[in-house]
Structure 1
């Protein structure tokens, strides 16, 4: 029972990391209608920025987390404006944009390797203290990860349901043309979505680095498949579906380690992805609008 409880605890931590990343990707797709294959590199760069800020500028690791998250948001915004928006303005086929983001992924991956090198790095965290909650046992950093995800998801819910910009994002998800006719500044909303998506990606990369304790330049790209699995399982373009998909994938992968070799736990995510595509391709949550 204790082993199963521990696996559930690990699943909640994985789900927390995954929710941050999956929601960011789902929001970006919901508004732009194309997938950013460089998203995994956004996670990697976010983690390395936090590491650089804490080691070179000697900032507190959690202050580094905030600053790196904001930098990644601006970075994503600039990439959209300087690289991707010119293609969308020309109305190029979506396949072209997928190729562009895939090329961007390769470029950012090699740039990360050139700047920070291939060695493993780790964030300097405060001394870990175990905390028991019934059958569960969490360290301070693990509780911090869960707390960050809970606050971020709550703030996102308020943004989407209580603010004008959130409602505009949902309207664009339903129909860009109808949103434009209604007077919505679609360029501004798209830019804000990229900013938010970049922040969530950077934050997800940092908490993932905290969770796995050490990381190297390809760790974000390797996690991208699991992010895709959560997004597709929950319903592509639905942030609430992404949250639910992250919970299911997180629990399933970690609890499966009780029955199979933990090296194969990501294969469980792949199996769930295949089953979803075969049995319910619209995902668990079928929304009227992709980001509703």
Structure 2
């Protein structure tokens, strides 16, 4: 009887949720293929390789580490987008270009601080034309100053945007605000392009490597000083956001406003002040996230935040729209998938794998990983 019920339940699940069943089959195939690759063998059927290949554990660990680092920065930037959605109730398409603006402001400050004693012209320092390559180990004070300026500068940018564009539309519907944010995004992007040009610039390089894993003659997995800074700062800021939401009056006010703005206003919560502090927190995190991504990758360009915006939206949707913890978790998942998809796909298609993972999660859990959990 038990076996009969099990079979019946299995058939019911296949009938009611065929997409989930397909996802399970694909996931099982990829896992089996990964294990066979790690074993260094292949399985053929009628002369065609079905699964397998060659993959070392150190290569897998390096991909996972890279994906984790990118995912943390994406999750950090995604917190601001999630805050904006949960409290202001609109999808802010200017968020990616806010990330870009913060990164440029921070790196200009870092470059000027590092190059003042070299005799290089100030104009060349501002335009990243001196060939300097900064790192946490070689120029720690300049990198730290840039990080602070990235946060403060981005806050100034988002407060100015809110004052000029969003505050006059505070009572408008979410579609109007979304369209306004697209206009803000275009304006920000081309202001940055006008000031700094459209070419990518190299601004940072690694200073030292900390070996994390060295497997019996295989290529070691190492963490550079810049990557270590990204890891530590991202985790510390995420922990700080958690404590702010759960332990402070501001966090309680933000959660109350995200749940019911009208009720929050009636109970005496200063909603306009909460909105302003939301912009401050979200802007600071966006600027820091962009700055850290450039620190890790080594290059900066006028449209990198716009390109990154797709991953940020994917992370927020995957984690559960309106959930800050979802943005954190979604960023890590998207980063890992984007990096580890190299096992099966060419480098140019890994971004598609990240969005495929988003679709898969939504098929299995439509509300997202932390669906139903708002600002808290």
Question: What residue number does 2:261 align with?
Answer: 176
Distance (Å, rounded) in 1 between the aligned partners of 2:286 and 2:203? 17
Within the alignment, does 1:191 sit opposite 2:276 as a pair? yes
Distance (Å, rounded) in 2 between the aligned partners of 1:152 and 1:262? 30
Contact 1:36/1:101 (8 A) holds in 2: yes
Match of 1:245 among 319, 322, 330: 330
TM-score (norm 1): 0.94
Question: What residue number does 1:33 align with?
Answer: 89
Distance (Å, rounded) in 2 between the aligned partners of 1:45 and 1:122? 16
Compute the displacement of 1:95 (Å): 0.8
Written as runs of structure 1 = structure 2, the 5 A alignment for 1:84-233 is 84-88=166-170, 91-124=171-204, 128-134=207-213, 136-233=221-318
Match of 1:64 among 146, 152, 169: 146
Distance (Å, rounded) in 2 between the aligned partners of 1:99 and 1:21? 21
Gaps in structure 1 of 5+ consecutive residues = none
Compute the displacement of 1:82 (Å): 2.4
Alignment RMSD (CA, Å): 1.5
Per-residue Cα deviation, 1:203-258 (whole angstroms, up to 9, x for no partner)? 11111111221121011100100001100000011010111111111111111112
Higher-Rg structure is 2
Compute the displacement of 1:124 (Å): 4.2
Question: Where in structure 1 do 4 or more consecutive aligned residues deviate above 6 Å?
Answer: none
Distance (Å, rounded) in 1 between the aligned partners of 2:273 and 2:106? 28
Per-residue Cα deviation, 1:42-101 (whole angstroms, up to 9, x for no partner)? 11111111221123354712211111211111221221122101101xx22211111100
Written as runs of structure 1 = structure 2, the 5 A alignment for 1:35-54 is 35-54=91-110
Distance (Å, rounded) in 2 between the aligned partners of 1:55 and 1:248? 33
Question: What residue number does 2:136 align with?
Answer: none
Distance (Å, rounded) in 1 between the aligned partners of 2:107 and 2:328? 27
Distance (Å, rounded) in 1 between the aligned partners of 2:102 and 2:337? 27
Contact 1:77/1:192 (8 A) holds in 2: no
Greater mean alpha carbon deviation, residues 227-236 or residues 14-23: 14-23
Q: How many residues are paired up?
A: 288
Distance (Å, rounded) in 1 between the aligned partners of 2:184 and 2:247? 34
Question: What residue number does 1:76 align with?
Answer: 158
Question: Larger RCO: Structure 1 or Structure 2 (Cα < 8 Å, ≥ 6 residues apart)?
Answer: 1
Secondary structure at the counterpart of residue 243 of structure 1 = helix
TM-score (norm 2): 0.74
